[in-house]
């Protein structure tokens, strides 16, 4: 017999979890002490949302379960946004919220998370795949098993358990659970139709989304593109799923997309192969009834959004993306690889960059960052115009090295994701591209990197405003309200106050020197890039 806290932590160790993220509170004290007894690092975050973001980044990189521990009441509500972001990224994260003792339920107690207070189980239901409270010790094993199965089945995602403090301390028979990594892969019955459409298409295009990251189908998409000579473009969230120095790459489509992608789909696209995307409004900027593809083949695990955003004839390929593409390649194993003829006449567009000695253009800053960072540096793009500049100008050379969410879009989440990702693989070069607005929201988490010597490079693109809403207001209303900071962020001073080496860069030389120092990968570094506040971001095509 062992208490539940001890059994839970033993299972963490079995699953290879070395780091758990959170903010302490009385209901979780025994669980946190048990982490220490069993040599699992408890990483103190500055805010519960930051803990959830870090746990998700940890899961995303090491392909294991991420764990975030937060206390009851406001601790749990603070983590809701992180759960919603993890669901959008399709990463398995176990959110554990504390709760006062079961025998006190129904009384007036502080930070109550039951139906008599702030009902966290109900709140987490809409942002997780499973949410439950462990109300008796003998329920714990089966509820934990349910949570793990939900986290890993189909489209992966976060789950939530509320565990009262007296339940954590109760003793039950010891048990071990395996992470359900080998769930059956769903195979479509319509792959022959898919192959036929590939063989007969005259002007096809592949649109790769964020689901390619989840399925790790990088090589399969490359082979499909090369065998059938199909150009590849990515959604904003699919950035990093296909090498952009490949001769078949069109770069990104949608918000922040390239001129090459926009030019290619202007007319006569007879087949669009959508892979792992909900086709959000950010992904379909540039596509209208005037240039709809004649047909669509849509590969996804979930059919909820198929044929919703693009109302054209669609062949759904439901199931595991990687497994289905592997079978398609098997069916075409005798087909010879082509020589990339479709893109020979695509015009190579160049951006027109203007500089002065006070600041860089964001476009040029992304090109400099790309030149200096190693090809295998893993970049997390935060939500804001800075990432759309990266989507357009930061050339991906190795698949699986850029992550961005174009659906949920929580500002500041990339800061925590980068910290968790770096802990998941300490030798990887992890870089966070964020903005001054995101840093105001979640920048305190940078001190977590300093506290634990986590060598993330935080690149803060600073133009003294919330750039996307400001430019959109000016476009549609002729003026802006509530988007500019009267007292702007001083990123260098802010970073130094958090204990990280910090640099302010106003020109190319300063940025290159700071990036070279960060490439030594010895400590957390903040690089503030002062950029043109009047530059028009590549997001203005959105209606």
Angle at 219 between CA 323 and CA 379, to 5 degrees: 115
According to DSSP H, which parts of 97-205 are helical?
120-125, 140-152, 165-169, 191-200
Please say whether the dihedral angle defined by the alpha carbons of residues 397, 401, 406 and 407, taken in this order, is positive or negative: positive
Q: Give me the pLDDT at residue 526, please.
A: 98
Q: Give me the pLDDT at residue 479, please.
A: 83
d(CA 131, CA 108) in angstroms, rounded, equals: 24
Helix (H, G, I), strand (E, B) or coil at 61: helix
Q: Give me the pLDDT at residue 351, please.
A: 44
Q: Tokens for 111, please give them.
A: 């930070």
Helix (H, G, I), strand (E, B) or coil at 342: coil
Number of helical (H) and strand (E) elements in the chain, helices listed first: 20, 20
Residues in the chain: 543
Domain residues of the chain, as ranges? 2-172, 191-331, 362-530
Angle at 511 between CA 505 and CA 517, to 5 degrees: 115
DSSP labels, 269-331 = --EEEEES----TTT-TT--GGG--SEEEEEES--TTTTTSS-SEEEEEES-HHHHHHHHHHH
d(CA 408, CA 253) in angstroms, rounded, equals: 18
* Residue in this structure with the two tokens 């098993």, named with its chain if needed: 145
**What are phi and psi for residue 14, nearest 5 degrees?**
-60, -35
Q: Give me the pLDDT at residue 337, please.
A: 64
Which among 272, 267, 260, 252 has a CA at the least distance from the CA of 198? Answer: 272
Any idea which fold 2-172 has?
Rossmann fold (3.40.50)
Whether the Cβ atoms of residue 409 and residue 84 lie closer than 8 Å to each other? no
* Burial class of residue 39 (count of CB atoms within 10 Å of its CB; 0-12, 13-18, 19+): exposed
According to DSSP H, which parts of 126-210 are helical?
140-152, 165-169, 191-200
Q: Tokens for 150, please give them.
A: 């939900």
Left (φ > 0), alpha (ψ -120 to 50) or beta: where does 63 sit?
left
d(CA 391, CA 190) in angstroms, rounded, equals: 33
Sorted by sequence, the CB contacts under 8 Å of residue 344 that are 6+ apart come out as none
Q: Tokens for 419, please give them.
A: 């910290």
Q: Tokens for 52, please give them.
A: 């959830």
Q: Tokens for 182, please give them.
A: 């080998």
Which among 392, 518, 384 has a CA at the least distance from the CA of 462? Answer: 384
Q: Which CATH architecture has domain 362-530?
A: 3-Layer(aba) Sandwich (3.40)
438: enclosing H helix or E strand: helix 436-442
CA 322 to chain centre: 19
Q: Give me the pLDDT at residue 345, please.
A: 41
At how many degrees (to 10) do helices 191-200 and 218-228 cross? 40
Q: Give me the pLDDT at residue 350, please.
A: 40
Does 362-530 match 2-172 at the fold level?
Answer: yes
Q: Which CATH architecture has domain 191-331?
A: 3-Layer(aba) Sandwich (3.40)
d(CA 540, CA 317) in angstroms, rounded, equals: 33
Which among 448, 459, 442 has a CA at the least distance from the CA of 419? Answer: 448
Tens of each residue's pLDDT in the chain, 543 residues? 899 999 999 999 999 999 999 999 989 999 999 999 999 999 999 999 999 999 999 999 999 999 999 999 999 999 999 999 999 999 999 999 998 765 666 555 656 676 656 899 999 999 999 999 999 999 999 999 999 999 998 889 999 999 999 999 999 999 999 998 766 678 999 999 999 999 999 999 999 999 999 899 999 999 999 999 999 999 999 999 999 999 999 999 988 889 899 899 888 899 999 999 999 888 888 888 888 999 999 999 888 889 888 999 999 999 999 999 999 999 887 776 665 555 544 433 344 444 556 889 999 999 999 999 999 999 999 999 999 999 999 999 999 999 999 889 899 999 999 999 999 998 899 999 999 999 999 999 999 999 999 999 999 999 999 988 888 888 888 888 989 999 999 999 999 999 999 999 999 999 999 999 999 999 999 999 999 998 888 877 665
Please say whether the dihedral angle defined by the alpha carbons of residues 491, 493, 495 and 501, taken in this order, is positive or negative: positive
What does the longest C-alpha to C-alpha distance in the chain come to?
A: 73
530: enclosing H helix or E strand: strand 525-530
* Residue in this structure with the two tokens 């975030």, named with its chain if needed: 68
d(CA 419, CA 345) in angstroms, rounded, equals: 43
Q: What is the pLDDT of residues 240-249, one digit of tens each?
A: 999 999 999 9
Query: Which pTM value belongs to this model?
Result: 0.91
Count of C-beta atoms within a 10 Å radius of residue 77? 18
Q: Give me the pLDDT at residue 338, please.
A: 64
């Amino acid at each position: 017999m062992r208490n539940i806290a001890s059994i839970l932590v033993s299972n963490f160790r079995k699953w290879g979890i070395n780091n758990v993220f959170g903010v302490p509170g009385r209901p979780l004290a025994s669980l946190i002490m048990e982490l220490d007894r069993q040599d699992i690092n408890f990483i103190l975050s500055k805010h519960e949302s930051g803990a959830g973001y870090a746990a998700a980044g940890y899961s995303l990189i090491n392909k294991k379960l991420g764990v975030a521990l937060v206390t009851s009441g406001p601790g749990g509500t603070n983590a809701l946004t992180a759960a919603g972001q993890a669901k959008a990224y399709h990463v398995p994260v176990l959110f554990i919220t504390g709760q006062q003792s079961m025998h006190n339920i129904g009384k007036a107690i502080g930070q109550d998370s039951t139906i008599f207070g702030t009902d966290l189980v109900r709140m987490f239901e809409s942002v997780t795949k499973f949410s439950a409270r462990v109300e008796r010790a003998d329920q714990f094993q089966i509820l934990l098993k349910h949570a793990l199965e939900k986290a890993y089945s189909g489209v992966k995602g976060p789950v939530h358990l509320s565990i009262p403090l007296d339940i954590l301390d109760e003793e039950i028979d010891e048990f071990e659970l395996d992470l359900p990594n080998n769930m059956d892969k769903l195979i479509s019955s319509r792959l022959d139709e898919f192959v036929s459409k590939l063989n007969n298409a005259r002007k096809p295009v592949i649109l790769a989304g964020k689901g390619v990251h989840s399925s790790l189908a990088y090589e399969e998409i490359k082979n499909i593109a090369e065998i059938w000579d199909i150009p590849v473009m990515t959604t904003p969230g699919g950035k990093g799923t296909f090498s952009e120095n490949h001769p078949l790459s069109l770069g990104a489509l949608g918000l922040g997309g390239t001129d090459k992608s926009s030019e290619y789909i202007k007319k006569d696209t007879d087949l669009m192969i959508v892979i792992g995307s909900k086709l959000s409004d950010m992904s379909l900027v540039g596509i209208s009834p005037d240039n709809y593809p004649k047909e669509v083949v849509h590969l996804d695990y979930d059919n909820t959004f198929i044929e919703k955003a693009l109302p054209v004839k669609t062949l759904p390929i439901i199931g595991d993306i990687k497994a289905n593409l592997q079978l398609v390649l098997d069916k075409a194993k005798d087909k010879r690889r082509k020589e990339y003829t479709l893109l020979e006449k695509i015009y190579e567009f160049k951006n027109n960059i203007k500089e002065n000695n006070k600041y860089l253009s964001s476009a040029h800053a992304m090109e400099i960052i790309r030149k200096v960072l190693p090809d295998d540096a893993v970049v997390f793009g935060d939500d804001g115009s800075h990432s759309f500049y990266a989507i357009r100008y930061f050339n991906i050379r190795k698949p699986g090295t850029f992550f961005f969410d174009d659906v949920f879009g929580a500002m500041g989440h990339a800061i925590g994701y980068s910290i968790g990702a770096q802990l998941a693989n300490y030798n990887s070069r992890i870089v966070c591209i964020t903005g001054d607005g995101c840093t105001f929201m979640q920048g305190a988490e940078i001190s977590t990197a300093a506290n634990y010597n986590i060598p993330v490079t935080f690149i803060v693109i600073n133009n003294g405003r919330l750039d996307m809403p400001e430019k959109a207001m000016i476009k549609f209303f002729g003026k802006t309200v509530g988007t500019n900071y009267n007292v702007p962020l001083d990123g260098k001073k802010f970073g130094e106050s958090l204990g990280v080496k910090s640099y302010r860069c106003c020109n190319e030389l300063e940025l290159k020197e700071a990036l070279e120092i960060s490439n030594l990968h010895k400590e957390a570094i903040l690089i503030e890039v002062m950029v043109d506040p009047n530059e028009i971001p590549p997001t203005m095509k959105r209606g």
